[in-house]
């Protein structure tokens, strides 16, 4: 039995990192990389995956990403999935196993391995729903429209209103004249 693992929200400026692990028990038709599916199709597949699979979904907040780092949050999420979803093998989409000896990895697994495709859909839908749920609490940012990604409109909102508690403060923006953390601007 294979547990496929994928994440959503590695690169956005705000919102959580969401990592999902899936073991398929009954066939689910129409699986693919979540990025290749429409929002409507992802939403249709979500309850089918939940019903047909063993799964675990982990959320790591923007604050936790800022405090512990993205790599730590990814690794600890994968370890939590491995404790909660029993499988013979674990396969992560991407090019690293995060130092976990029992974790395999494969680039584009989300498009080629159905368990990873299912995980990508659970992670993406869970994250998108979260961003839509919090949007009314932060009306200045339109999180329901861009889901926290670094769109031009989102960057303009940050310029106008600054960051809120859902933003990742360690993710620096050239558009705001911010340097990478740990570097200094040349004053001359």
DSSP string for the chain: -EEEEEEE-SS-SBS-EEEEEEEESS--TT---GGGS-HHHHHHHHHHHHHHEEEEEEEE-HHHHHHH-HHHHHHHHHHHHHHHS--SEEEEESS--TT-TTEEEETTHHHH-HHHHHHHHHHHHHHHHHHHHHGGGSTTT-HHHHTT---HHHHHHHHHH---TTB-TTS--GGGTPPPTT------
pTM over 0.85: yes
Report the number of distinct structural domains present in the chain.
1
Indicate whether 111 belongs to any domain: yes
Q: For 48-87, what is each residue's pLDDT tens digit?
A: 999 999 999 999 999 999 999 999 999 999 999 999 999 9
Indicate whether 186 belongs to any domain: no
Q: Which domain holds residue 41?
A: 2-136
Q: For 125-174, what is each residue's pLDDT tens digit?
A: 999 999 999 999 999 999 999 999 999 999 999 999 999 999 999 987 77
What percent of the chain is modeled with pLDDT above 70? 94
Indicate whether 57 belongs to any domain: yes
Task: Give the CATH number for residue 101.
Answer: 3.30.420.10
Indicate whether 77 belongs to any domain: yes
């Amino acid at each position: 039995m294979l547990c496929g693992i994928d994440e959503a929200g590695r690169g956005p400026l705000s919102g959580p990192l969401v990592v999902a692990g899936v073991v398929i028990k009954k066939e689910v038709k129409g699986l693919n990389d979540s990025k290749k599916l429409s929002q409507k199709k992802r939403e249709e597949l979500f309850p089918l995956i939940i019903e047909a699979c063993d799964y675990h979904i982990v959320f790591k907040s923007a604050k936790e990403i800022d405090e512990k780092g993205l790599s730590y949050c990814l690794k600890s999420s994968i370890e939590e999935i491995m404790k909660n979803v029993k499988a013979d093998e674990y396969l992560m989409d991407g090019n690293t196993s995060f130092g976990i000896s029992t974790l395999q990895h494969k680039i584009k697994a989300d498009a080629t391995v159905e368990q990873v495709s299912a995980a990508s859909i659970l992670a993406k839908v869970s994250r998108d729903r979260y961003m839509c749920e919090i949007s009314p609490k932060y009306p200045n940012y339109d999180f329901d429209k861009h889901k926290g990604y670094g769109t031009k409109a989102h960057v303009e909102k940050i310029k106008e209103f600054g960051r809120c508690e859902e933003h990742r403060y360690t993710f620096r923006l050239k558009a705001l004249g911010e340097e990478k953390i740990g570097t200094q601007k040349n004053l001359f």
